[in-house]
Each structure stands twice: as C-alpha cells, then as structure tokens.
Amino acid sequence: MTADARGYMGMRDRSCLPALVLVTALVGCGGASSPGSAPLVPLPSPPNGAYVTHIVILVQENRTFDNFFATFPGADGTTVGKTHNGTRHLRKSNLFSSINPNNGYAYWTQDCNRGNSGRCKMNGFDTVRIGTTPGTYVYQYVDPSQIKPYWDMAKQYVLSDHFFQTQGSGSFTAHQDLIRGATDLNSSVSLIDSPTQTPWGCDAPPGTVTSLITSSNQYERNGGPFPCLSYRTLRDLLDAANVSWRYYSPTVGQNFGGNVWDAFDAIKAVRYGPEWATNQASPETKVFTDVERGTLPGVSWVIPDFDNSDHAGKGADKGPSWVAQVVNAIGESPAWNTTAILILWDDWGGWYDHVAPPARRRDGGPGFRVPLIVLSPFARAGYVSHAQYEFGSVVRFVEDNWNLGSLGTTDVTSSDFVKDFFDFSQKPRKFVPIESPYSRSYFLRERPSNKPVDDE
C-alpha cells in the first residue's frame, strides 16, 4: 500500500476511524506546475474509494469568530462586547473596511488584558487606537449577507467555534504555525511578529531581522535571526513518506503579493532546493488547473491574492467568492469523494472577540479565536463543534492521516478533531455548489493585485 493510499492510521489512536486525509482550505493558493517543472502525478485511489486522500488548507486573513459568526445559530457568538470600563454593542458592518486594525503581539497583549489569574479579560480592545480612529471601531460583526458563502458552507458542514491561533501574533508566525505548529528556534525562544522587511523569508534584503518571545514570555523586538530558517516542517514528514504537497500562493519577488504570506519562502531547504520550482506554485490560481487535471496533491495550502483575502484595509469583498470557487472546483471534480477541506483565518486581525484563549504557555500563545469551516463528503451535516482546537490540530491531522510521525510541537498538545468532525460510516455526500457573486472565470481572468500590504 502506498503512502498516499494508507488513509487514517493515526499513530496516536489507530483504533480511531478508517482512512482519511483532510483537505484544508485557508486562503488563496495556486495550482499547476511552474514552467519547466515536472508535472505532478495523480494520486492513487484508496483501496475501496471510501477514504480521504487529499487535505486542502484554505487560508484566509485576519478575522475573529465573533466578527464573522456572532449571530450564527447554535454557535458561541455575541453581539455585546466588553470594554475596559463597561460593555458596548457590536454594530453590524460591511465586509469591506478601509481601516486596518492593529494586530501585532503588543496589541494582542493589550486586547487580551490579563488579570491576576493569568487569563485574558478580553476587555482591552477599545484601548488600542488605529491611527486617529478610536479602538471601539473593532467592536463590529460583518453582515451575514455579505459573507453568505461562508455561512452556507457552515450550515451544510462543520463550523468550529473554539479554534485558536497558536500564538497571539500576526500573519508571519501564523503561516509558519500552519506548516509546523510552532516557531520555536530552541527551548528558550520562538519567533513572533513580522520580519523587519519584505519578503518575509529567504528573499528578504540583507539586514532583515525577526523578533522573539522567550520561554518566560519576554518580548525581544528585532532580536531574532534573518528569516531563512532550518527547522523541520510538515514538508520533511511528507517527503519522507512520499506524500505529495504544494503551496499555492501569489508570486514572491520584488513588489509582489506573495512576499508576506508564502510560508515556505522562509524555509531554507525549500527556497534553495528543487521543490521551489515544483511544490511552490504561483500564481495561486494554479490550484484550479491542478484540480482540473486530476493532479491535486495529498496536502495543499492555498493562499489568496490580497484583493481576494478578507484582510481589512484597501481590500475588497471578493474573499468569500474566492474560497467558494476553490471549493466548487474541488467539489465538482472526481477528487471530492476523497477530500476534506479546511477553511480558516490566520489571525484575529485586531477585531473583537469575547472568548478568552486557553491557559497561557511559553510561546506567546494561544492566540484568539478564528473561524474554522470543514467540508468533506464525510463531514457531519450542519454541525457546530464547541470543542477546543488550534492550529496544531491541523498539523496533527495531516500527520496522523498518513502515519507520518510527529514534529513534536503543538501537534502533540492540540486535540484531534477526527471523531468530532467526521462520520465515516456514512456514504460520501453529494456536493452541492456554493453560490457566490464572483465566478471562477472571474478569478482566472483577474490581474494580480501585487499587494504585499500586510505588515503584521
């Protein structure tokens, strides 16, 4: 039996369930092979066609659970927020926002406002000004009609309402956590916040440095190394087991949109090895090509163009449509019956959320809640999960699905969501296309924005 056909033989609980691979959909990534690279070979079919053999992680940007799902039926949301001196109602807002709330570690600490018990009071959001804009601006939730594709997917499949970032930080470390589960350089320090210059990785200009947080949660601004890293990621485990993978993202280079969200640009072995030409796929729309050709890899990370993300500040309203069209491409293909898709948001983006993170640990985390939607022909129907998970749960799911072993990060301490989210006793559910304002052809024709504007 090949590694791609093994399915879910979890090293931590092998009595769990039959074979399984999760497709996690995060935000817009790419697809087909780069010019001159070898084409991907279609994955073998599982023994009886009943197992998941693709994990697709769709990464979106900068939203809390309350910001998107405050009023979702049965979910732990709220329309009343705590301030440093009282409460205020969250106002219904548009998805588009010209103002970009602050979301680095210092702002996370201020929003959290730890009490004597060490737990976040979750009442400091109004104390963080956004330039001349009062901090109360972040007390809002998006009109559900403007994110209808997300709500439609959540109503049909699984919505997790206690899913937390690994760290209370921004996009750089969040994207590292989604390929590794942590950013520790050794037992004493971990990376946090963003490098001082873009691109956020090995392509950064000389003199670029990172920031650190110590095991005692002391922040060391600009005290870290150049952002070209040698620690192990899921890539190492997948390669060792001959499981295919690709990271779809906007192009990395001078003034290009992939300069901030391409996690593997910061991984030295990938950036300066042959996989940069084959496993890093730009532009992100190549994901459509791979689905159409039947060459969707075992594990995919899909990162969007800035204009198709849900990031505030100079963004647009196309994020829900972008995700829906990637989902539809997979759902309408033969891959659907053996795929699981995870849609998640990389960090809280500065927006209000009312649920305090779990107990504090040494790496500046866990961070705040972000939404997680899970689609699969085996996903429970219309199910809201209240169990606690974090980015390490995603890493663990990939590891256990192919019995890859463990990276020894938060994958070890994060809960496994297989038994909670999936029912493998059911026949694969037929996919129903997700309606959205923008079509697949729109995204295939769209010119790249080349906006690496996220600085946190």
Q: At what angle do helices 286-293 and 319-331 cross, to 10 degrees?
A: 10
Both structure tokens of 85: 């001196």
pLDDT at 117: 82
H or E element at residue 419 = helix 418-421
pLDDT, tens digit, for every residue of 314-358? 767 999 999 999 999 999 999 999 999 999 999 999 999 999 999
pLDDT at 349: 96
pLDDT at 138: 98
pLDDT, tens digit, for every residue of 86-105? 999 999 999 999 999 999 99
Cβ contact 320:148 at 8 Å: yes
Model confidence at 32: pLDDT above 60: no
Which pLDDT band holds residue 452 (cuts at 50, 70, 90)? low
Residue 442 sits at the vertex; the CA angle it makes with 171 and 178, to the nearest 5 degrees, is 20
pLDDT at 425: 85
More confident residue, 222 or 24: 222
pLDDT, tens digit, for every residue of 408-426? 999 999 999 999 999 988 8
pTM for the model stands at: 0.90
Please tell me whether residue 253 adopts helix, strand or coil conformation: coil
Model confidence at 207: pLDDT above 50: yes
d(CA 111, CA 170): 14
On average, the pLDDT of the chain sits at 88
The residue type at 349: G
Averaged pLDDT, 11-34:
39
23-27, 202-206, 343-347 — which is least confidently predicted? 23-27
* Cβ within 8 Å of residue 408, ≥6 positions away: none
* Cβ within 8 Å of residue 363, ≥6 positions away: 166, 167, 182, 183, 184, 190, 192, 213
Which pLDDT band holds residue 456 (cuts at 50, 70, 90)? low
pLDDT, tens digit, for every residue of 299-318? 999 999 999 999 998 767 99
Alpha carbons within 13 angstroms on the beta-carbon side of residue 436 total: 28
pLDDT at 360: 84
Please report the domains of the chain, with CATH numbers, ordered by start residue: 3-38+48-445 (3.40.720.10)
Model confidence at 74: pLDDT above 70: yes
pLDDT, tens digit, for every residue of 113-168? 998 888 999 999 999 999 999 999 999 999 999 999 999 999 999 999 999 999 99
pLDDT at 428: 87
- DSSP letter for each residue of 77-127: --SEEEETTEEEEPEEE-S--SS----SHHHHHHHH-B-TTSSB----GGG
More confident residue, 48 or 323: 323
Alpha carbons within 13 angstroms on the beta-carbon side of residue 183 total: 35
Residue 326 sits at the vertex; the CA angle it makes with 414 and 277, to the nearest 5 degrees, is 80
Both ends of the chain: CA-CA distance in Å?
44
φ, ψ for residue 390, nearest 5 deg:
-150, -175
Averaged pLDDT, 16-27:
42
Q: Which residues pair with 220 in a beta bridge?
A: 212
pLDDT at 7: 40
Beta strands in 205-244 (DSSP E): 211-214, 219-220
* Burial environment of residue 209 by CB neighbours within 10 A (0 to 12, 13 to 18, 19 or more): middle
Which pLDDT band holds residue 28 (cuts at 50, 70, 90)? very low
d(CA 110, CA 127): 7
pLDDT, tens digit, for every residue of 228-276? 999 999 999 999 999 999 999 999 876 677 889 999 999 999 999 999 9
Model confidence at 17: pLDDT above 60: no
Model confidence at 15: pLDDT above 50: no
